[in-house]
Amino acid sequence: MLFSSIPFLYYFLPSVLILYFLVPKKLKNTVLLISSLVFYGWGEPKYLILMVASIIIGYVSGLLIEATNEKSKKRAFMIINVAINICFLGFFKYSNFFVENFNAVTGLSLKLLNIALPIGISFYTFQILSYTVDVYRGTVKAQKNLISLATYITMFPQLIAGPIVRYIDIVDSLEDRKLTFQKVSEGLRRFIIGLSKKVLIANALGEFCTTFKASDDKALLFYWVYAISFCLQVYFDFSGYSDMAIGLGKILGFEFMENFNYPFISKSISEFWRRWHISLGSWFRDYVYIPLGGNRVKKSKWFFNILVVWFLTGFWHGAAWNFIIWGLYFVIFLISEKTKVGKFIIKTPVLNHIYTLFFIIISFVIFDAVNMSEAFSYLKAMFGLSAVPLISTEFIYYIKEYAVILIVGLIGATPLVKKTVTKLTDTKCVKVVVAIFEPIVLVALLVLITAYLVDGSFNPFLYFRF
């Protein structure tokens, strides 16, 4: 079930919220857990068994780790839990990839398993892993209440697309959270803004990208505008979903971490990845990079640690070589930015922004490709190495049709609007005007979004792939 769908917005969510606010405090986790299981099972009921099994294994592992005082046994229980969950993830997400590559290397023709990817498995697996590792480290106590732990793992606002929520960050809220009118108001505002980013901007940019791919009249500039549009589509699609998740969390009494912080204003690739998908980056930092030694090791080991983290980051995104190469692509820049030349570039005004945006745009062409052959084909055309003209009739037609949404996307990807609104609301008079008109604008946006959804407009969600 998509957040940006009529069934979710007008049937599922209102029903859940009414029940959630009516039941007594001690039953709220139960309502949230059952609602989340219904939400997940709406599209793939058979994979509920897998998720429930993962939760039970994580629950039992946490209790076993905490119950023993022997460090070796604690470590063994933790490793067993990690291994089981990684095996689940590996089997359901990567089995076809491994079989295909085994066939390619050996010349055999083993049959592909063709297993459907369980939605959200990458996200909830990482949450279970972080919980059990934190119990092992002693940074959190094992959760004795299975319903509370299951509520944390299955919570529908962040179940299918993150942000990746750490148990340590919401453990107190699981047991005692305050539901206030202010939080509900802030949550609704954040949700509608995220929904608007997804439906009104990301979907329109997605239409342009789909149109480009179907075109038989491609041109060099058409390729570049497609690449920029896809970057913006992913940003508004995913950050919009994160906004909706954070907003729903507030309504329910939880505080989820921010997942995006205007990444396209970055002055380096390193900074970009501190601003993009923050929850995933911090997860790999705390559970892979630092345990490997981080940067507190000799330089060769440090570079190796970066390589491991970005290989895993790429592979986490998808079972295909273009995702692995996409991850390794960033290793080159993250390491080069530690050199004198790299430091010079990222400290030079204007040049640092051009450098960052240029290589980020190239990276997303690789990310979006069906395979590396298609990626190289697109990159060749972008750099004038293919027999395509500079412009084409279709390019001129579609750039005119989508010019407004491209401009809106480019401006919206910067903090310009937020800074302008913040500056204007510094005065008491404007603050009153905003307080009056903001609810009207939000309702108008919701009506407009509903019209788009009822019309059956283009409405994909990119991160279902991961």
Residue 108 lies in a domain: yes
My answer on whether 164 and 18 are in the same domain is yes
| CB distance 131 to 154 below 8 Å | no
Q: What is the pLDDT of residue 461?
A: 61
| CB distance 360 to 272 below 8 Å | yes
Residue 223 lies in a domain: yes
My answer on whether 56 and 172 are in the same domain is yes
| CB distance 283 to 372 below 8 Å | no
My answer on whether 188 and 138 are in the same domain is no
Q: Token match 């450098």: residue?
A: 355
Instruction: Look up 353 and say whether it is catalytic.
Output: no
| pLDDT tens series, the chain, 466 aa | 788 899 999 999 999 999 999 999 999 999 999 999 999 998 778 899 999 999 999 999 999 999 999 999 999 999 999 999 999 999 999 999 999 999 999 988 888 888 888 888 999 999 999 999 999 999 999 999 999 999 999 999 998 887 999 999 999 999 989 889 999 999 999 999 999 999 999 999 999 999 999 999 999 999 999 999 999 999 999 999 999 999 999 999 999 999 999 999 999 999 999 999 999 999 999 999 999 999 999 999 999 999 999 999 999 998 899 999 999 999 999 999 998 999 999 999 999 999 999 999 999 999 999 999 999 999 999 999 998 999 999 999 999 999 999 999 999 999 999 888 888 777 878 778 878 888 999 999 999 999 989 877 666 666 555 5
Last residue of a domain, one of 177, 204, 226: 177
- Give the separation between CA 380 and CA 64, rounded to whole angstroms: 55
Side-chain-side CA neighbours of 429 within 13 Å: the count stands at: 0
Q: What is the pLDDT of residue 83?
A: 96
Residue 419 lies in a domain: yes
My answer on whether 104 and 215 are in the same domain is no
Last residue of a domain, one of 177, 195, 211: 177
My answer on whether 173 and 190 are in the same domain is no
My answer on whether 208 and 330 are in the same domain is yes
Number of domains in the chain: 2
Residue 465 lies in a domain: no
Q: What is the pLDDT of residue 465?
A: 57
Phi, psi dihedral angles at 332 (to 5 degrees): -55, -45
Residue 137 lies in a domain: yes
What domain range includes position 418?
183-454
My answer on whether 157 and 206 are in the same domain is no
Burial state string for 120-134 with b = 16 or more CB within 10 A and e = fewer than 16: bbbbbbbbbbbbbbb
Residue 422 lies in a domain: yes
Residue 466 lies in a domain: no
Last residue of a domain, one of 144, 177, 210: 177
My answer on whether 422 and 362 are in the same domain is yes
pTM, to two decimals: 0.94
Side-chain-side CA neighbours of 23 within 13 Å: the count stands at: 15
My answer on whether 88 and 192 are in the same domain is no
The catalytic position among 317, 333, 356, 405 is 317
- Note the residue count of the chain: 466
My answer on whether 135 and 284 are in the same domain is no
My answer on whether 301 and 327 are in the same domain is yes
Q: What is the pLDDT of residue 445?
A: 94
Residue 408 lies in a domain: yes
Q: What is the pLDDT of residue 44?
A: 75
My answer on whether 19 and 95 are in the same domain is yes
